[in-house]
Amino acid sequence: MEMEKHQLKLLILFVFITQACSFKIDEPKKGEYRAEIKTKDGSILPFKFVLFNESDKLIMKVENDKETLIYDDIVYVQDSIKILMPPYDAVIIVKSEGETLKGRYLKEESGKEASFYAVINDKPKFTSNKEADFSLDGKYKTVFRPENPYPGLGLFTQKDNKVSGTFRKNTGDTRYLSGITFGDSILLSTFDGAHPYLIKAVKKGDTIFGNLHYYSDSITEFWMIKDDDYELANSKSLTRLKDGFQSINFNFKDINGEFISLNDEQFKNKVVVVQILGTWCPNCLDETQFFLSYLNENPNEDLAFVGLSVEAAKTEERALKRISSMIEKFDIPYPILLAQYGSTDKEVFLEKIPMLENIISYPTTIIIDKSGKVNSIHTGFNGPATGQAYVDYKEDFKTEIKGLLDL
């Protein structure tokens, strides 16, 4: 009997080793790729990237209009290649077949995915033999979800038939869009790891009608019309304290499990910037990188930053891991606390900071003076893709902080 058990164990071990050795991974070809993600209606969302080796490490470099994104957390799992994009919960899982990569783009927390295909190709994202009937150059009053209107502002530049730009919203921007116009049509796309977007639109008279595709998850209708004088609402007018309140407070865990409150000694008699964010949010990361740049250029003992993170991760452990990954990746010197996990619902967050009347966006930034009173609340973030709006935001922030520090 003992002999039979021993033989069975040896057989199981043999099968396991045989299967493990049977996984064969074809090394992906190095070079320039044109990638395609399939959207909800079957449309193709393209983007460009380069695969290369550096110090024996495989690296993916995404060319996203005016920005370059580097993803170097790439692992081999059985017969597949897994390209992680920390701190986002997004991942590309593919198999290499000659000059192609086939697989899926996946959001790990939600489980939502889209098919992914890439082939070595030096051609641009979009091509057309048709000349454009119009120029998209300029500013556009935009309305998303016409049945339940949400305001936006299109900002575009065009040279020949090549277009780049973004949509500003009260909550943030769609980052770097680029593509072409041809005939009466527009095709634009972007890929930043967390938010792959495809814009398909047609010009009819003075109005442009289109759809914004968010990978395979959703399709949002919009229309826009050229209006060089149109502006969105002031970002400091959208989020408010409840009547009777002049300050806020909180008590949340940091990545080490220590509770941190705004009443702590590290914040007393200081100007405090409270950043409400999520590691899944590209606009939040754009804002974080601006804050890091500001701190590097303007060190001051009377200024403190703290982040309150709202995470989609289903468990506290995974949420804290996301935050730790973000802190490590961007070398963030200030604490980021876990304010909420399992949901990014804003009504739930308001229960944690009941002094706020409302919150409509991640990020939202609360600037507090040395006496502990809220000086301003800034909704959303105008990132680098918004051009002058980004410049104006940085100047306004610097002016406000300097004024509070000088008091």
For residue 377, pLDDT over 90 is answered with yes
CA pair distance 382, 390, nearest whole angstrom: 5
CATH code 2.40.128.120 region(s) in the chain: 31-120, 138-226
Cα–Cα distance for residue pair 267/269, rounded to 1 Å: 7
16 pLDDT exceeds 70?
Answer: no
Q: Residues of the chain with pLDDT > 70: what percent? A: 94
CATH for 138-226 is: 2.40.128.120
CA pair distance 242, 112, nearest whole angstrom: 37
pLDDT tens per residue across span 125-182: 999 999 999 999 999 999 999 999 999 999 999 999 999 999 999 999 999 999 999 9
Interval 200-242: pLDDT, tens: 999 999 999 999 999 888 999 999 999 999 999 999 999 999 9
Say yes or no to pLDDT of 25 above 90.
no
Cβ pair 352, 274 in contact under 8 A: no
* Of residues 307, 298, 328, the one with CA closest to residue 401: 298
Tens of pLDDT, residues 88-97: 999 999 999 9
Decide the pairing of beta strands 271-277 and 303-310: parallel
Class of 251-406 in CATH: alpha beta
Question: What CATH number should be reported for the domain whose range is 31-120?
Answer: 2.40.128.120
Q: What is the pLDDT of residues 308-338, one digit of tens each?
A: 999 999 999 999 999 999 999 999 999 999 9
How many CB atoms are closer than 10 A to CB 73?
A: 16
User: Which pTM was predicted?
Assistant: 0.90
For the chain, the average pLDDT equals 93
Higher pLDDT pick, 255 / 1:
255
What pLDDT is stored for residue 116 in this prediction? 97
CATH 3.40.30.10 residue ranges in the chain?
A: 251-406
Question: 18 or 344, which is more confident?
Answer: 344
User: Residue 13 pLDDT > 50, yes or no?
Assistant: no
pLDDT tens sequence across 271-302: 999 999 999 999 999 999 999 999 999 999 99
pLDDT surpassing 90 at residue 269: yes
